[in-house]
């Protein structure tokens, strides 16, 4: 196979799309980021609320929760507005639960005090990888929000445990490729979303065979690619936060 023609946008198998992280994208939220993975664009905000869910009352500990949505015409054909339909789809719920788990791994909620960080990831344009872009951007928004809590002396220490980013990998025509766009995602055999930290620790792995099962060898190839992508993304997060040199 000619690897040059493998990917519709001419990327090499291990090449990420262009990633852009724009902080302070909207003005009200404590943290607000526009994250772009190629044509995929997600607004990620982090909002601080001075309360915690019922199950954490009186424990002087914080919480982080995430919600995810897509504008109806973020996609090729218009999808029904979930608010009009009256409920979120299973896909939406699955994604927002993933974002929440991924982000909770990055923050020390005990140091947050009795506060909730609300993460909102809203896709304004979709081209594959909306959940991985969401996690990557939301980390930066949350970082900004907790930094502001520190600067205003509402907390004593930055409650950041680790850097967290996410990327998709998949088998396209038998070749492992990094950061699938929509066209690749639609035709790939195996699709895996990987959430990792700066130290190459895994936070979450979700791999799904679509059409054909995958072998242990293929999984290892995919994870190798994912590590490359994650390292690149965390570098981008650090640059965006002005912490790139360290």
Confirm or reject binding of residue 53 to a copy of itself (CB under 8 A). no
86 token code pair: 């009256």
26 token code pair: 């909207």
Q: Which of 53, 87, 153, 246 is close enough to bind a copy of itself by CB under 8 A?
A: 87
Interface region with a copy of itself, contact rule CB under 8 A, candidates 12-20, 128-136, 216-224, 238-246: 216-224
Confirm or reject binding of residue 67 to a copy of itself (CB under 8 A). yes
Confirm or reject binding of residue 81 to a copy of itself (CB under 8 A). yes
Q: Which of 35, 38, 96, 144 is close enough to bind a copy of itself by CB under 8 A?
A: 96
String marking each residue 176-215 x if it binds a copy of itself according to CB under 8 A: ----------------x---xx-xxxxxxxxxxxx-xxxx
d(CA 132, CA 175): 21
Over the range 195-232, which residues count as b (16 or more CB within 10 Å of their CB) and which as e?
A: bbbbeeeebbeebeeeeeebeeebbebbbebbbbbbeb
Do 142 and 103 meet the contact criterion of CB atoms below 8 Å apart? yes
Is 152 annotated as a binding-site member?
A: no
229 token code pair: 């992508």
Do 216 and 224 meet the contact criterion of CB atoms below 8 Å apart? no
User: What's the start-to-end Cα distance of the chain, in Å?
Assistant: 41
Is 51 annotated as a binding-site member?
A: no
Give the number of residues in contact with a copy of itself, rule: CB under 8 A: 67
Chain residues binding a copy of itself by CB under 8 A are 26-29, 32, 39, 41, 43, 45, 47, 49, 67, 69, 71-78, 81-88, 90-94, 96-97, 101, 105, 118, 120, 122, 124-126, 162, 192, 196-197, 199-210, 212-216, 219, 223
């Amino acid at each position: 196979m000619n690897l040059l023609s493998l990917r519709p946008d001419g990327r090499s198998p291990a090449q990420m799309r262009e990633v852009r992280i724009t902080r302070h994208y909207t003005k009200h939220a404590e943290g607000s980021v526009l994250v772009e993975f190629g044509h995929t664009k997600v607004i990620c905000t982090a909002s601080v609320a001075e309360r915690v869910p019922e199950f954490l009352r009186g424990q002087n500990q914080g919480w982080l929760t995430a919600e995810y949505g897509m504008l109806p015409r973020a996609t090729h054909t218009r999808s029904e507005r979930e608010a009009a339909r009256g409920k979120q789809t299973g896909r939406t719920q699955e994604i927002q639960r993933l974002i929440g788990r991924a982000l909770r791994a990055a923050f020390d909620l005990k140091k947050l005090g009795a506060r909730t960080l609300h993460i909102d990831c809203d896709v304004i344009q979709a081209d594959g990888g909306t959940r991985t872009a969401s996690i990557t951007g939301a980390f930066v928004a949350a970082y900004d929000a907790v930094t502001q809590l520190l600067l205003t002396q509402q907390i004593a220490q930055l409650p950041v445990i680790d850097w967290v980013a996410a990327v998709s990998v998949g088998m396209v025509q038998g070749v492992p490729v990094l950061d699938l766009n929509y066209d690749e995602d639609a035709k790939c055999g195996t699709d895996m979303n990987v959430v990792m930290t700066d130290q190459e620790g895994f936070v979450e792995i979700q791999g799904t065979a679509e059409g054909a099962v995958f072998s242990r060898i293929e999984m290892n190839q995919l994870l190798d690619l994912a590590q490359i992508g994650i390292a690149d993304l965390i570098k981008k997060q650090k640059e965006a936060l002005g912490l790139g040199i360290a």
